[in-house]
Amino acid sequence: MTTYAAPPAQAGRPPYVRSRDDWFERVELITPAMCGPNSLFIGQLGDWTWDAVGASCGINPYTAADPEGNPVYLSFAYFRVRADSGLSAEELTFGDRLRVRSKVVSSGGDSLLTMHQVTRDGDQAARGPAPGVDGFFRYDTPGCIHVENFNRWIQRSGHDTNHGLRRATPANFRSDHLERVPDAHSPRRVWADARKASGFRTPAEPAPQAGLVLNYQVSASRDLNGVGLLYFASYFSIVDWAVLSLWRSLGRPARSFLGRRVLDRQLCFLANANADDVLDIEVTSHWDTAGTDVVDVTLRRQDGGLLAVSRQRIAHDPHA
Amino acid sequence: MTTYAAPPAQAGRPPYVRSRDDWFERVELITPAMCGPNSLFIGQLGDWTWDAVGASCGINPYTAADPEGNPVYLSFAYFRVRADSGLSAEELTFGDRLRVRSKVVSSGGDSLLTMHQVTRDGDQAARGPAPGVDGFFRYDTPGCIHVENFNRWIQRSGHDTNHGLRRATPANFRSDHLERVPDAHSPRRVWADARKASGFRTPAEPAPQAGLVLNYQVSASRDLNGVGLLYFASYFSIVDWAVLSLWRSLGRPARSFLGRRVLDRQLCFLANANADDVLDIEVTSHWDTAGTDVVDVTLRRQDGGLLAVSRQRIAHDPHA
C-alpha cells in the first residue's frame, strides 16, 4: 500500500518506527505540559495526529499551504477518546512512559481518519502486534486508550475572521496510496449524524435528568492557537468547564470532579469562533444503566451557528 | 566541571547534544500544542528546564521522590522570559524550528538556575558559540528569547491540600558538581526582593496610571497539573487574563491584545492553591519612557497569603 519513502519524523519531533502494516510507533514520556485535569493530553493527541499524517502522506502538515501559498490547516472534524479498557487520560501523570501506535487511513476525498492506540510502555498489550482497522474498532485492547481523529483540510475564507472557514487542499498532498476506512467505521457518518441531530442523543435514550444553560466568552488570553483560530483542544476545555458547572449545580464537590474518569469523549467540530464571541452552551445529563453519567454539551455562536456538539461518559465515585 | 556521564536525554524525550561548556542543545519543531496567545509555549519552557536539570544532575525529575518515596517536585520559584532582542513568544507559529540551548547552574543549597537561549534554527546567533553565564545576562544575543528559571524542590506537607508546600530534596540529587551562579545574577535576590515588596515596583517609578481589582476562582477543569497542583503555566494564564481585563477596561480591542509583544515577563511564585480557591487580583499599569506598558499583577489567596507577583513589559500598536 505504501508508495512514499517519507522520513519517519521531522527534525525537532520525536522519531517513529514504522511497521509493515503502516502503523507508526514511538514512546512518549509524559511531562507536566502533557497531562492533568485540563486539555494538555488532548493537545498532544492532536500533535500526534499531525505527525502521523506527515509521516503517512509525505508532507509537512505544520507548514501546509495551497498552490498560491495560502496556509491550509489540518482541521479536526471529529475527535473521540475511548478509555474504558483499563487506562484513562485522567490517571496519566509525570514520568509515565507511553507507547503510541498511530495509523492513518483515507476516509474519502482529502479527508483522513487517524487512529491511535496509547498504552503504558511495557504493558503486554503494547508488545502484541498492532490490530487491523476492524480490530481497532473493537476498542478491546486491554489497558489502551483508543483515539480516532477525523480530519479535513481548511483555510480562512476572509481576512481576520474565523467564521466561514472553507475546505482547501494543500499542494503536494496525496492520500490515494492509503488504505481506505471500511464503511462501517467511517467517521463521516458519525459527524453528519451528530450535526443533523445537533448532538449525540438518540430517540431511544432516557430524557435528561439534569441540565444547565451557560454563556462562555472566547478568551483572547487563553483559547486561541498559534494561527489565531479557536484551538481544537480549547473546545474540550470549554466542554469540561460546562460539565464542571453542571457538577457544581448538582452539589458535587470539586474533589469528585477531579476524581472522575471519562470513559468516552466524543466531540464534533462544526465551526470556529473569534476572540470575544459569546457562546450559548447547553449541557444535559442522564444516567445510563451502568450508573455512569452521560453528559451532552452543545456550543452555539450567538449568530445561531452550531459550533460543536459533544458527549462524555463519566464514571465517578458518588461518595467522594 | 562535569562528573556525571548522564544520558543526554531519556527515552521518550527529544535528545540533546552536550557542548564542552555544559550547554545542552537541541532543535524543537513548534506544533499547535506549543504556541499561541496562551501559556503553551511557557509550558514547553518549563518542560525544557526539567529536561535540562535531568541531563545535568543525572536524575529523573519526572519521578523524583524523597528517601521515603514521597513525591518531590521541581518547583518554579522565579520565571523570566526576556524577548526584546528580535524574537518574541507571540510570533511563534506552527512549523517554526527553534534551536534551544540550555544550561543549569547551582544557585545555592538544592536550588538551581536554568538558562535557555531560544533562537530560530539557522539564524546566525544559533550558530555562534554559547555564551558564558555573564554573557547570557547581557540579554543581547540577537533574535533570541532569554529564559531564566529559578527552581527549588518541594513536596506537599498535608494530604489533599496545595497549601503549605515545604522544601524537600529528592534521593540521589546532587548539584555540587555544577557551576555556581555569580552573585550579581542570583535569582534568589530577585525572588526575595519581589516577595518583600509584594511586586516588582520600585519607589523611583511613576505611579500607576491605570488599575483594576479582580477575582479569579481556580478551576478544577483547567488550572491544575498532572499531580493536582496549580500548574505553573496557569499562573501565566491568570496573569494574562488580568492584563486582558485591564486592556478591555481601557477600551482597547481584543485585536490589539492579540497583536501585542511581551518584551519581558517576570513571575515570582510564592505559594500554591487548590481548586475552587478564590484569588484576589490587583493589576496596575504605567507607561515607561519608551512608550511600553509596564503591567504589574499581584495574586493573593483570600486567606491573605501572597500567591504570586508578576510584571510584564508590553509593546503594542495603539492604532490596532
Question: Does any CB of chain A come closer than 8 Å to the CB of residue B186?
Answer: no
Question: What is the predicted pLDDT for the residue at B318?
Answer: 79
pLDDT confidence tier of residue B124, bands split at 50, 70 and 90:
confident
Q: What does pLDDT average to over chain B?
A: 94
Question: What is the predicted pLDDT for the residue at A100?
Answer: 96
Task: Check pLDDT > 50 for residue A3.
Answer: no
The answer to whether the beta carbons of residues A16 and A8 sit under 8 Å apart is yes
Query: Are A97 and B12 a contacting pair at CB < 8 A?
Result: yes
pLDDT tens readout for residues B51-80: 999 999 989 999 999 999 999 999 999 999
The answer to whether the beta carbons of residues B218 and B291 sit under 8 Å apart is no
The answer to whether the beta carbons of residues A315 and A261 sit under 8 Å apart is yes
Phi, psi angles (nearest 5°) of residue A263:
-75, -25
Q: By C-alpha distance, which of B92, B32, B43, B224 is closest to A232?
A: B32
Query: Are A226 and B94 a contacting pair at CB < 8 A?
Result: yes
Domains of chain B (ranges, CATH numbers): 17-191 (3.10.129.10), 197-315 (3.10.129.10)
pLDDT confidence tier of residue B15, bands split at 50, 70 and 90:
confident
Question: What is the predicted pLDDT for the residue at A2?
Answer: 38
The answer to whether the beta carbons of residues B72 and B66 sit under 8 Å apart is yes
The answer to whether the beta carbons of residues A261 and A293 sit under 8 Å apart is no
Question: Residue B47: its chain A contacts at CB < 8 A?
Answer: 31-33
Q: Which of residues 240-269 of A touch B (CB under 8 A)?
A: 240-241, 243-244, 254-255, 257-258
Question: Residue A36: its chain B contacts at CB < 8 A?
Answer: 224-227, 231
Neighbours of A180 (CB within 10 A): 15
Question: Closest chain B residue to A39 measured between Cα atoms?
Answer: B222
DSSP state of B257: H
In chain B, the N- to C-terminal Cα span, in Å, equals 51
Q: Which residues lie closer than 8 Å to A20 by C-beta, 6 or more apart? A: none
Question: Does any CB of chain A come closer than 8 Å to the CB of residue B21?
Answer: no
- Rounded CA-CA distance A42/A240 in Å is 12
Q: Which of residues 105-134 of B touch A (CB under 8 A)?
A: 121
Task: Check pLDDT > 60 for residue B119.
Answer: yes
Question: What is the predicted pLDDT for the residue at B9?
Answer: 66
- Rounded CA-CA distance A201/A194 in Å is 8
Partnered with residue A112 across adjacent β-strands are A106, A151
CA dihedral A272, A305, A49, A132 (to 10 degrees): -170
* % pLDDT > 90, chain B: 86
Task: Check pLDDT > 60 for residue A67.
Answer: yes
Question: Closest chain A residue to B71 measured between Cα atoms?
Answer: A94
Mutate to test the interface with B, among A16, A225, A255 (most CBs of B within 10 A): A225
Question: What is the predicted pLDDT for the residue at A129?
Answer: 80
Question: Does any CB of chain A come closer than 8 Å to the CB of residue B213?
Answer: no
Q: By C-alpha distance, which of A12, A167, A101, A219 is closest to B31?
A: A12
Cell 487563553 identifies what position?
A222
- Rounded CA-CA distance A137/A233 in Å is 23
Question: What is the predicted pLDDT for the residue at A8?
Answer: 58
Task: Check pLDDT > 70 for residue A204.
Answer: yes
- Rounded CA-CA distance A74/A53 in Å is 9
Question: What is the predicted pLDDT for the residue at B8?
Answer: 59
Of A38, A93, A231, the CB nearest to B222: A38
The x, y and z cell numbers of residue B71, run together, are 513525591
Query: Are B36 and A221 a contacting pair at CB < 8 A?
Result: no
Mind telling me how many Å the CA of A202 is from chain B's nearest CA? 27
Question: What is the predicted pLDDT for the residue at A223?
Answer: 98
Query: Are B237 and A221 a contacting pair at CB < 8 A?
Result: yes
Task: Check pLDDT > 70 for residue B92.
Answer: yes
Is the ipTM higher than 0.90? The answer is yes
Within a 13 Å sphere around the CA of A149, how many CA atoms are in the beta-carbon half? 27
H-helix or E-strand spanning residue A245: helix A232-249
Q: What does pLDDT average to over chain A?
A: 94
The 8 Å CB, 24+ separation contacts for A208-211 are: A208/A284, A208/A285, A208/A286, A208/A296, A209/A285, A209/A286, A209/A287, A210/A246, A210/A249, A210/A250, A210/A284, A210/A285, A210/A286, A211/A246, A211/A282, A211/A283, A211/A284, A211/A285
pLDDT confidence tier of residue A5, bands split at 50, 70 and 90:
very low
Query: Are B221 and A240 a contacting pair at CB < 8 A?
Result: yes
The x, y and z cell numbers of residue A234, run together, are 480549547
